[in-house]
Amino acid sequence: MIKKEVYKLSFSAFFADLGYQTAVVMFPLIFVIILKAPIWLYGIAEALNYGIGSLMGLIGGIMGDKFGRKKMAVLGNGLIIIISLLGFSKNLWEALLLFMIPWWFRNFRSPIRRAMLTEVTEESERSKAFGILHSLDLGGAVLAITYTTILLFFKFPIQYLLLITMVPLAISTYLLSISNSGKKVEKRKISFKSDNKIITLIVISTTLFGFTQYSFGFPIITTEFFTHQAYLSVISYGIFLSASSLFGFLLGRLRINNFFALGFIGYLLGSFSSLGFAQFSSYGIMAIYPFSFLLGVSIASTETFEPSIISRFSKSESMGSNMGLLTFGRSIGVFLSNMIMGLLYEIRYSYAYYFSSIMSIIAFIIVLYIIFKMRINK
C-alpha cells in the first residue's frame, strides 16, 4: 500500500514543475527568439545548465546521505525560486544566470528526493511509487504548459508570466519541509563508486540515453522554425509532458520486467522518436507532435525504471549517492548532447537528431547485454 509520504513527495514534485517548467519552455524562446542568440550558443548554454547540474546532482545525493536528506532537499528546492526572475532578463548573460543557477539546485535536490522515496516504500512498491512521482511531476508540468500557452496566446507579459511561478515553487518547498522522510543522517565516508556492476552499467546507459534526452528546447525551436508561432512550440512541449505523465503512471503499475521496459519502451523508443524528428519535422506539427508524444513515453519509462533498478541493487546507506550517480550520468549525457547538437543543428537540424538516435541505440544495446548476462547467471 502506497503511504501518504509518497504523495507528499510526489505533490512536492507536482508543484515544483507547475512552477519551473514555465521557465524551461520560455528559456529557449527568450534566449534565441527574443535575445537573438545563435543556436550554437544556445547549445553551449544548455550544456552549462546540465553540465554543472550533473555535478550538483552527484553532490546533492552524497550530501543528503551525509548531512540529512530532508535538510538538503529543502535547501535545493528553495533556491529554484530564483528562476521566476528569468523574464526580467535584459541580455544573454542575465538570462543564462537566472536559469542556470536555480537549475543546478533543481538537480541538487532530485536524487535526494528519490532516495527519500525509497525510505518510505518497500522494494515491491518502488516501481509504482516512482511511477506516481513521475506522473505527478509531469502532471504539474502539463498544467504549467497549459497556462503558459493560454497566457502567451493572449499576449500576457512574459516577465509577469514567469513571476507567477513563485507561488507553486513555494508550495513545493513547504511540502518537502513537512515530509517525515529524509531525517536520518547516515554515518559514512563519501564515495563516488557504485555498489554494484549493474548500477555502473545503468549509469553508463543513462549517460548515453542523455544524448536522446536533450533539452526539449531543440524541438521547441524546430517547431517555431516551421510554424512561426510561439504558442504552437509550447504545445509540442505540452504533448511531450502529457505523454510522459500519463505513461509514468501506467508503467509503474504494470507487472513488467524493469530491464525489458527500460530497454525497449525507454531507450529504443527514444531512438525512434529522435529519428522521427530528423526525417519528418519539415511536415510541421502533424509530424512533430506525434514524435513529441513518443519521446514523452520513452522518458516516462526511463524515469520510472532507472531509479527502481538502482534502488533494487543499492545498499540503504548509499541510496542517495547512487541516485546521485544516476542523475550525474544522465546529466553528463545531456550536457554533451546539447553542445554537440547545437553545433550539428547549425549545419543541418536533422544531423542533431540523427546523432541522438544513434546514442540511444547504444544505450539499448547495453540493457540487452544486462538482460543476457542476468539470464545466463540464473
pLDDT reading at 1 higher than 50: no
Query: What does the pLDDT read at residue 314?
Result: 80
Give the long-range contacts of residues 313-318, CB within 8 A, separation 24 or more.
313/195, 313/196, 313/198, 313/199, 314/195, 314/196, 314/199, 315/195, 316/118, 317/65, 317/186, 317/188, 318/65, 318/188, 318/191, 318/195
Q: Could you tell me the pLDDT band of residue 378, with boundaries at 50, 70 and 90?
A: low
pLDDT, tens digit (0-9, with 9 covering 90-100), for 363-375: 899 999 988 888 7
Q: Kindly state the average pLDDT of the residues 322-338.
A: 78
Contacts of 19 (CB under 8 A, 6+ apart): 80, 81, 83, 84, 140, 144, 165, 166, 167, 168, 169, 172
Q: Please write the tens of the pLDDT for every residue from 206-242.
A: 887 776 666 677 888 899 889 988 889 989 988 998 8
Q: Which amino acid is at 4?
A: K
Give residue-wise pLDDT tens across range 294-328: 999 998 898 888 888 888 888 777 777 888 888 77
52-82: per-residue pLDDT in tens? Answer: 777 788 888 889 888 889 999 999 999 999 9
The structural domains of the chain, ordered by start, are 4-178+191-376 (1.20.1250.20)
pLDDT, tens digit, 9 for 90 and up, residues 95-111: 999 999 999 999 899 88
Q: How confident is the model at residue 134 (pLDDT cuts 50, 70, 90)?
A: confident
Reported as a pLDDT band with limits 50, 70 and 90, residue 246 is confident
Q: What is the mean pLDDT of residues 200-206?
A: 85
> What pLDDT, on the 0 to 100 scale, is given for residue 207?
81
User: What global pTM score does this model have?
Assistant: 0.74
Say how far apart CA 170 and CA 19 lie, in whole Å.
9
